[in-house]
């Protein structure tokens, strides 16, 4: 998917073939095997990766995910998407991504901590505030970031908060980082709704995925006046056309482990959830959710990609023809990495901002990026993903040329 999207963009913008050739590949991928002492006393070896796609604009940046289906190719694709994401919002970063093949849902906290420390130690030679700054992603949160930061700092012999973002505020995290991705989704949604003439007051919203991104997207969209009628997690979805009480759903999930079974809501599969009658759909789970199989049945007028890669290129074509706007991942979920950037800046200068300052700066950054992309969308008459790509790839290509890489 990542290669296909790049290819499509290269044609639209007439990209220099030499630059295209370089951009098809990551600059470096490290594969590590991490021995972890499990609670039963035995050693289990886990496999992990860190892919560094491109650093023409600045140090590599991107999260680390824990998931049983992680593959090296997936991590490489995700690192390429990070290059575009950082570029489209104008951050001084390149793209990177990490992943460990594991199922944290079946591991104890102690096992996850030992795995986290082992993984970060294993990749420590190629990360650091000036080299590559990891963060959270699927199944990793501020808890893991704290262990990563601690492990790296122990190795160096002094505190290095700027080597990782998404840390708890107590140890140099930024105010607002937890909510940032979801807030960004809502900001991009607000701007897109203006362009499409969607009135957010009472607009019906469906959110797939109820992790950090899904929950906060729903939370901030609700604040803008939307009605959240469906949400889901990996075990299934729930639906109530009158609207769901978000706080109560969150509490229910914290207690039971899933949103499924929430009183007063209909149970629905993750597949059916995507096809619900609604104005805005927010896929915030994993890749490959909207494909050529279901794209024709999507009822939403606007799709906000909270997840990375939820829509396939075939589905993009179908949705574009049908007049459904897709605010692409590299723009819609860029709020996370943007506040990661703010966190890194605060760490480097040792001076910390209030949540209001962070949210205000994020709003300005994303509105600027959205408008830039929207202008390209109107000028080139392509879909929003390609508009975002043209914007992102041009900036990286320019930096590569200036640096003399081609």
Nearer to ligand GLU, 165 or 346 (CB): 165
Is residue 79 involved in binding ligand GLU (CB under 6 A)? no
Is residue 308 involved in binding ligand GLU (CB under 6 A)? yes
Nearer to ligand GLU, 167 or 301 (CB): 167
Report angle CA 32, 67, 300 to the nearest 5 degrees: 135
Say if residues 122 and 32 touch (Cβ distance below 8 Å).
Answer: yes
Q: Which of 23, 135, 160, 302 binds ligand GLU (CB under 6 A)?
A: 135
241 is catalytic: no
Nearer to ligand GLU, 180 or 276 (CB): 180
Say if residues 383 and 8 touch (Cβ distance below 8 Å).
Answer: no
Cα 321 to Cα 98, 182, 205, 315: the distances in Å are 35, 28, 22, 10
Is residue 165 involved in binding ligand GLU (CB under 6 A)? yes
- Residue 143 CA to residue 136 CA, distance in Å, equals 9
Concatenated DSSP letters of 29-66: EEEEEEEEE-TTS-EEEEEEEEEEEE-SSSSEEEEEEE
Q: Which of 8, 50, 61, 190 binds ligand GLU (CB under 6 A)?
A: 61
Is residue 179 involved in binding ligand GLU (CB under 6 A)? no
Site residues for ligand GLU, 315-344, by CB under 6 A, read 333, 336-337, 340
Minimum separation from the CB atom of position 95 to ligand GLU (A)? 9
> How many helices and strands in the chain, by DSSP H and E?
14, 12
Which member of 61, 97, 227, 301 is catalytic?
97
- Residue 96 CA to residue 80 CA, distance in Å, equals 7
Count of residues that interact with ligand GLU, criterion CB under 6 A:
13
Tokens describing residue 51: 């892919």
- Residue 290 CA to residue 301 CA, distance in Å, equals 14
- Helix, strand, coil fractions of the chain, as percent rounded to 5: 50, 20, 30
Is residue 144 involved in binding ligand GLU (CB under 6 A)? no
Select the span of 41-49, 56-64, 223-231, 282-290 touching ligand GLU (CB under 6 A): 56-64
Is residue 90 involved in binding ligand GLU (CB under 6 A)? no
Say if residues 310 and 288 touch (Cβ distance below 8 Å).
Answer: yes
Is residue 387 involved in binding ligand GLU (CB under 6 A)? no
Classify strands 302-304 and 325-327 as parallel, antiparallel or unpaired: parallel
Nearer to ligand GLU, 218 or 324 (CB): 218
Classify strands 94-101 and 60-67 as parallel, antiparallel or unpaired: parallel
Minimum separation from the CB atom of position 127 to ligand GLU (A)? 12
Residue nearest to ligand GLU (CB): 63
What is the number of alpha carbons within 13 Å of residue 361 lying toward its C-beta? 22
Minimum separation from the CB atom of position 176 to ligand GLU (A)? 13
Reported as type and span, the H/E element at residue 154 is helix 142-156
Is residue 62 involved in binding ligand GLU (CB under 6 A)? yes
Nearer to ligand GLU, 36 or 80 (CB): 80
DSSP 204: E
Say if residues 396 and 23 touch (Cβ distance below 8 Å).
Answer: yes
- Residue 349 CA to residue 352 CA, distance in Å, equals 8
Minimum separation from the CB atom of position 243 to ligand GLU (A)? 29
Nearer to ligand GLU, 142 or 232 (CB): 142
Contacts to ligand GLU by CB under 6 A = 61-63, 85, 135, 137, 165-166, 308, 333, 336-337, 340
By annotation, the residues acting in catalysis are 97
């Amino acid at each position: 998917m990542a290669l296909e999207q790049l290819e499509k963009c290269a044609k639209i913008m007439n990209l220099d073939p030499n630059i295209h050739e370089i951009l098809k590949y990551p600059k470096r991928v490290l594969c590590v095997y991490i021995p972890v002492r499990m609670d039963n006393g035995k050693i289990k070896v886990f496999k992990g990766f860190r892919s560094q796609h491109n650093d023409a604009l600045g140090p590599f940046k991107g999260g680390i995910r824990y998931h049983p289906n992680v593959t090296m190719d997936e991590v490489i694709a995700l690192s390429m998407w990070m290059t575009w994401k950082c570029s489209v919002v104008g951050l001084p970063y390149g793209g990177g991504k990490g992943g460990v093949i594991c199922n944290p849902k079946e591991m104890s906290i102690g096992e996850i901590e030992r795995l986290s420390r082992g993984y970060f130690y294993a990749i420590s030679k190629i990360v650091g505030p000036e080299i590559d700054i990891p963060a959270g992603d699927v199944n990793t949160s501020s808890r893991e970031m704290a262990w990563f930061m601690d492990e790296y700092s122990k190795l160096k012999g002094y505190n290095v908060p700027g080597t990782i973002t998404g840390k708890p505020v107590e140890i140099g995290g930024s105010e607002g980082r937890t909510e940032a991705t979801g807030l960004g989704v809502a900001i991009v949604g607000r701007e897109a709704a203006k362009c499409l003439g969607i009135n957010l007051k009472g607009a019906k919203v469906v959110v797939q995925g109820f992790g950090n991104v899904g929950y906060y997207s729903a939370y901030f969209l609700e604040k803008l006046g939307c009605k959240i009628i469906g949400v889901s997690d990996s075990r299934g979805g729930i639906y109530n056309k009158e609207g769901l009480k978000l706080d109560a759903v969150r509490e229910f999930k914290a207690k039971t482990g899933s949103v499924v079974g929430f009183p007063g809501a209909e149970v629905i599969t993750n597949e059916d959830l995507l096809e619900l009658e609604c104005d805005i759909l927010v896929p915030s789970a994993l890749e490959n959710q909207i494909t050529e199989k279901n794209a024709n049945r999507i009822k939403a007028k606007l799709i906000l990609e909270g997840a990375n890669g939820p829509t396939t290129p075939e589905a993009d074509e179908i949705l574009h023809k049908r007049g459904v706007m897709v605010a692409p991942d590299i723009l819609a979920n860029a709020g996370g990495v943007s506040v990661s950037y703010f966190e890194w800046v605060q760490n480097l200068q040792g001076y910390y901002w209030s949540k209001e300052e962070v949210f205000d700066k994020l709003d300005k950054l994303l509105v600027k990026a959205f408008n830039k992309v929207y202008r390209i969308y109107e000028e080139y008459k392509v879909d929003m993903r390609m508009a975002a790509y043209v914007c992102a790839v041009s900036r990286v290509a320019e930096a590569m040329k200036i640096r003399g890489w081609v």
